[in-house]
Amino acid sequence: MEQNLAASRLQVVEASGSNYDMGYEHGTKCSQKIRRFSEIFIREAVQRTGMGVEKVHAVANLYLPLMERSSPHLVEEMRGIAAGGGVSLEDVLLLNLRHEFMFGLRTKQWTNCTSVGLTSELSSTGASVIAQNVDLPPYFHEYMVLLRLKPRSGPRLMMYTAAGTVGNHGINSYGLARSSNALASKREKALGVSRVVLSRLILQQRSTEDSLDTISRADRAVSGNYMLTDSRGDLVDVESTADDIRTLRPTNGFLVHTNHILHPDIAETDTGVAEDTYERYTQMTKAVSNHKGRVTPEDVEGWLRDHTGYPGSVCNHSSLTSVAALVLLPAEGKMLVCHGPPCKNEFQDFAISS
Ligand SMILES: [Zn+2]
């Protein structure tokens, strides 16, 4: 399956206007992808949870009132996606509840990821940088798109995300960037704000403080790790469980995060996502620590391609695959996107304003 991951080109999806309008445009432009992805997703959800299709839809619907309360504008966007994509709102809800169906419903892991953040002192660009590999089941690759949104109010957004979803890794025009990594802890609950929705809410913020506040106030169901930087160059990593958050600050100008909880206050709640998390953490930390001088985006691309410890390497080929790699340069309003495993594919440059 992996050898085909470079075959499809990355679809760039532009949308503007009200949330419903943006959703409708996104849905229309990605209708085939959304319909196929939705079919696969429901099949997987049924298989992994042991529920029937009706029950899966019924569970997805339980999240709707929570989303209506916390982010009615994003529910409107999902309605637009459903109308434009020719699928039901429940189908779109499910695509936006990926993590909850993985962790909240106690099914197997579906995502890992390795993140690295550099302060402006360490980065050759003179501004802070965040990068990550996106580790997912290989079939996700053909449904990933670059979504460029120009909302009626608030910042412009550029995200690398699955078709039909409202948010994921990316940057905004205020100079904020966010990566994320899967975490699992004992402190999770059945219902709450979807992690995809929370990811989008974070990307609507101006600063790391506002983002922290957003994460802290959210009624979270599952755990997650978010690496953030803003236009002032503040770089922070946020480990969150359903009932707690802890922050980590750079040491020697950098931060690394994989899929285990690092903060001593909450580390004992970790229930583990991926066996290779420690190896990837050690390898990426070594790569940054051993680097001499300032770090260029090309250096970071090289770290993301690393195969030490293969198949559980930073460029992952274990139960999941690094289906993409991202270098986020929010100060320049740019993302370097490698659509496919970074060991076999090139990075392309995308600007938030085309
Ligand atoms: Zn590789």
Q: pLDDT band at 252, cuts 50/70/90?
A: very high
Alpha helices in 165-276 (DSSP H): 195-203, 208-217
Q: Would you say 322 and 133 are in contact if contact means Cβ atoms under 8 Å apart?
A: yes
Cα(21) to centroid(ligand 1), Å: 38
Cα(346) to centroid(ligand 1), Å: 12
Cα(82) to centroid(ligand 1), Å: 35
Cα(280) to centroid(ligand 1), Å: 13
Cα(134) to centroid(ligand 1), Å: 12
pLDDT at 32 > cutoff 70:
yes
Cα(114) to centroid(ligand 1), Å: 13
- Could you read off the pLDDT of 311-325 as tens digits, one per residue? 999 999 998 899 999
What pTM did the predictor assign? 0.95
Residue with tokens 């809410």: 201
- Could you read off the pLDDT of 37-62 as tens digits, one per residue? 999 988 888 887 788 889 888 888 98
Cα(5) to centroid(ligand 1), Å: 11
pLDDT at 8: 65
Task: Tell me which DSSP letter residue 270 carries.
Answer: B
Helices (H) and strands (E) in the chain, counts: 11, 14
Strands of 97-234 (E only): list them: 114-118, 129-136, 144-151, 157-162, 169-172, 177-181, 224-229
Burial of 225 by CB count in 10 Å (0-12 exposed, 13-18 middle, 19+ buried)?
A: buried
Strands of the chain (E only): list them: 11-17, 114-118, 129-136, 144-151, 157-162, 169-172, 177-181, 224-229, 235-240, 245-248, 254-257, 321-329, 334-339, 348-351
Q: Shortest CA distance to 112 belongs to which of 142, 136, 144?
A: 136
pLDDT at 46: 84
Burial of 156 by CB count in 10 Å (0-12 exposed, 13-18 middle, 19+ buried)?
A: middle
Among the ranges 46-55, 267-276, 342-351, which has the highest mean pLDDT value?
A: 342-351
Name the amino acid, one letter, at 311: P
Provide the mean pLDDT of the chain. Answer: 92
